[in-house]
């Protein structure tokens, strides 16, 4: 009844069989619509324990709850600690689902090829050790897919923008979805969602990564369970049921284990990988634990595309910094407004299809609004970055007349010993960027700079070390950060004029200067 296929033991398809009464009872238990999955996993699904070797799957209590969540809800998202047995649990359920539900297509989409193969290996191992009377016969059987005689199949693939496109998917399983490239994750989910909407099911499982990725978005919506009348529902507003477990629900983990693991990997990684907190994985400029505390607020006022977080006051001063762009749909132009000496974010603007002349007019509109609220323009300081595209901005300012823009146009002082033509605005070099990044890091981590913008906080969470500098991760933006860095450089100039600003800066700069990140060298394969 069994045959060797590709060196493994499988069951022939479409064979006549005779069953004992006990075997029939087992089959009926496996086919039970309510508890079949649990009976199969506990009695017939074998796993490879790292110490004990081959053994029947004996799920922990939280794993039983996880299996129940898979079975009860059409859409599942699971945020689980590292090495909690989530892959093993999924493998058992997916194998049961394929063998006892005819004509189903199960797609396993994993973060990496090795991850997809790991899940399939566990499914294959469990299948091969099932008794013949329980397992279904196979039509096709290889490392990347399995097709059963009942018409169901399991297919594994690496998650890309095209994965699953054109397939009629009955059950989608996404593994470590939080670690898929953000652009690819968005494209994949956009293309796969319509398929699921026609009746498919989905299981998304991961340890958390960033709180701005697709996994985090789906998870947060799954936790919003209140309807329009304030009644709590089992699933979130997106239809997903969110499941999580704590690290100490694993019977082999206690406080002694925790202390040992903290010593090995540090608090930050422990909180992310075992505490399931949305901390940033990459080497961000701002400490990831600090980033996790930044929530932001909604603007008090929207004037066009300019978001105002506070009203300008006549008793305070304001820096208005413009980081220009071409305005042709590529990079964003951004304006940040900060109050001095409180270092409070007051307003911001960002757009990528606004031409340079219009960017300068928006800058003027912002400074004019501050002037109107304060009664004069004596407390307004504005400037632009003058690199490349900034040259065009300077031409527009010259044509408009800088005297027609309320406030004082401040520029970077000429350094002694340098022989160069003076240019208005601020020129950004590797050195000036690192210095400004150091100041931004210190002031945010020491609660000196008050940031309210959710888009800016989102950029900070993806502003990571690259080479010897910092920039946005692939697929993300850092234009609001660039405008903020320019604002901080403007404050550096202004501190020599205003003792209040000087004192605040001095307090914020109490720590040693930040060292640039070490360059990362990539070599060939192993």
* 174 three-state secondary structure: strand
Q: Are 179 and 111 in contact (CB under 8 A)?
A: yes
pLDDT for 421-466, tens place per residue?
667 999 999 999 999 999 999 999 999 999 999 999 989 988 988 8
User: What is the C-alpha separation between 345 and 348, in angstroms, rounded?
Assistant: 8
> What is the percent of the chain with per-residue pLDDT over 90, rounded to a whole number?
56
pLDDT at 415: 62
Question: Above 80 in pLDDT, residue 5?
Answer: no
User: Closest Cα to residue 203, out of 65, 73, 76, 64?
Assistant: 76
pLDDT exceeds cutoff 60 at 416: no
pLDDT confidence band for 518 (50 / 70 / 90): very low
When mean pLDDT is compared across 324-328, 449-453, 464-468, 503-507, the lowest value belongs to 503-507
What is the band of 83 on the pLDDT scale with cuts at 50, 70, 90?
Answer: confident
Q: Ramachandran region of residue 425, left (φ > 0), alpha (ψ -120 to 50) or beta?
A: left
What pLDDT is stored for residue 60 in this prediction? Answer: 93
Using 50, 70 and 90 to split pLDDT, how confident is the model at 32? Answer: very high
| Mean pLDDT score of the chain | 86
At 280 the pLDDT is 56
Q: What is the pLDDT of residues 128-151, one digit of tens each?
A: 999 999 999 999 998 889 999 999
- Comparing CA positions, the residue from 325, 380, 318 lying closest to residue 350 is 325
Q: How many CB atoms lie within 10 A of CB 53?
A: 8
Torsion (CA) 20, 22, 28, 29 in degrees, nearest 10 = -160
Q: Is the pLDDT of residue 273 over 80?
A: yes
pLDDT at residue 496 tops 60: yes
How would residue 2 be classed by pLDDT, with cut points 50, 70 and 90?
very low
The pLDDT of residue 266 is 86
For residues 52-61, give the mean pLDDT. 91
What's residue 227's pLDDT? 62
- Residue 495: pLDDT band by 50, 70, 90 thresholds? confident
For residue 163, what are the contacts with CB-CB under 8 A and spacing of at least 6?
A: 107, 109, 157, 188, 192
DSSP string, 73-91: -SEEEEE--TTSSHHHHHH
What are the tokens at 308? 């105002």
- Percent of the chain past pLDDT 70, that is, above it, reads 89
Handedness of CA 437, 440, 442, 445 (dihedral sign): negative
pLDDT at 292 exceeding the cut of 60: yes
pLDDT of the residue at 398 = 93
- The answer to whether the predicted template modeling score (pTM) of the entire model surpasses 0.75 is no
- Residue 214: pLDDT band with limits 50, 70, 90: confident
Q: What would the mean pLDDT of 41-56 be, rounded to a whole number? A: 90
Mean pLDDT of 180-208: 85
pLDDT reading at 515 higher than 80: no
The domains located in the chain, with CATH, are: 2-245 (3.40.50.300), 255-279 (no CATH), 301-508 (3.30.420.240)
Residue 141 β-bridge partners: 146
């Amino acid at each position: 009844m069994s045959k060797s296929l590709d060196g493994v033991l499988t069951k022939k398809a479409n064979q006549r069989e005779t069953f004992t009464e006990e075997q029939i009872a087992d089959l009926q238990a496996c086919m039970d619509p309510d508890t079949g999955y649990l009976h199969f996993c506990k009695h017939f699904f074998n796993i490879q324990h790292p110490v004990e070797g081959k053994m029947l799957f004996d799920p922990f209590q939280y794993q039983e709850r996880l299996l129940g969540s898979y079975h009860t809800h059409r859409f599942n998202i699971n945020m689980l600690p590292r090495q909690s047995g989530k892959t093993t649990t999924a493998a058992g359920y997916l194998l049961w689902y394929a063998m006892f539900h005819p004509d189903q297509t199960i797609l396993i989409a994993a973060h990496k090829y090795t991850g997809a193969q790991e899940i399939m290996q566990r499914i294959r191992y469990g299948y091969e050790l099932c008794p013949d009377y329980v397992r279904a016969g196979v039509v096709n059987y290889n490392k990347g897919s399995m097709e059963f005689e009942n018409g169901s199949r399991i297919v594994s693939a690496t998650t890309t923008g095209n994965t699953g496109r054109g397939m009629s998917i009955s059950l989608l399983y996404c593994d470590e979805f939080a670690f898929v490239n953000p652009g690819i994750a968005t494209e994949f989910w956009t293309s796969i969602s319509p398929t699921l909407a026609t009746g498919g099911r989905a299981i998304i499982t991961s340890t958390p990564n960033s709180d701005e990725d697709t996994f985090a978005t789906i998870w947060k919506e799954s936790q919003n369970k209140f309807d329009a009348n304030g009644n709590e529902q089992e699933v979130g507003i997106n239809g997903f049921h969110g499941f999580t477990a704590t690290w100490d629900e694993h019977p082999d983990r206690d406080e002694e284990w925790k202390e040992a693991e903290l010593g090995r990997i540090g608090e930050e990684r422990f909180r992310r990988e075992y505490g399931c907190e949305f901390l940033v994985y990459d080497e961000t400029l701002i400490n990831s634990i600090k980033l996790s505390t930044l929530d932001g607020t909604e603007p008090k006022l929207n004037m066009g595309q300019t978001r105002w977080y506070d009203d300008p006051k006549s008793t305070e001063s304001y820096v208005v910094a413009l980081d220009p762009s071409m305005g042709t749909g590529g990079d964003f132009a951004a304006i940040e407004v900060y109050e001095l000496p409180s270092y409070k974010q007051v307003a911001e603007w960002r757009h990528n299809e606004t031409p340079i002349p219009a960017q300068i007019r928006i800058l003027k509109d912002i400074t004019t609004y501050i002037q109107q609220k304060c009664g004069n323009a004596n407390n307004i300081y504005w400037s632009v970055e003058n690199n490349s595209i900034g040259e065009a901005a300077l031409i527009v300012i010259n044509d408009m007349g800088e005297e027609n823009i309320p406030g004082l146009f401040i520029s970077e002082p000429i350094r002694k010993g340098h022989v160069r033509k003076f240019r208005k605005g601020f020129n950004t070099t590797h050195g000036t960027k690192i210095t400004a990044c150091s100041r931004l890091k210190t002031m945010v981590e020491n609660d000196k700079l008050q940031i309210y913008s959710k888009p800016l906080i989102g950029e900070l969470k993806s502003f990571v070390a690259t080479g010897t500098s910092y920039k946005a991760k692939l697929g993300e933006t850092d234009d609001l950060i660039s405008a903020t860095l320019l604002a901080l450089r403007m404050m550096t100039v202004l501190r020599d004029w205003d003792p209040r600003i000087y004192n605040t800066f001095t307090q914020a700069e109490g720590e040693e200067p930040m060292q640039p990140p070490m360059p990362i060298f990539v070599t060939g394969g192993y």
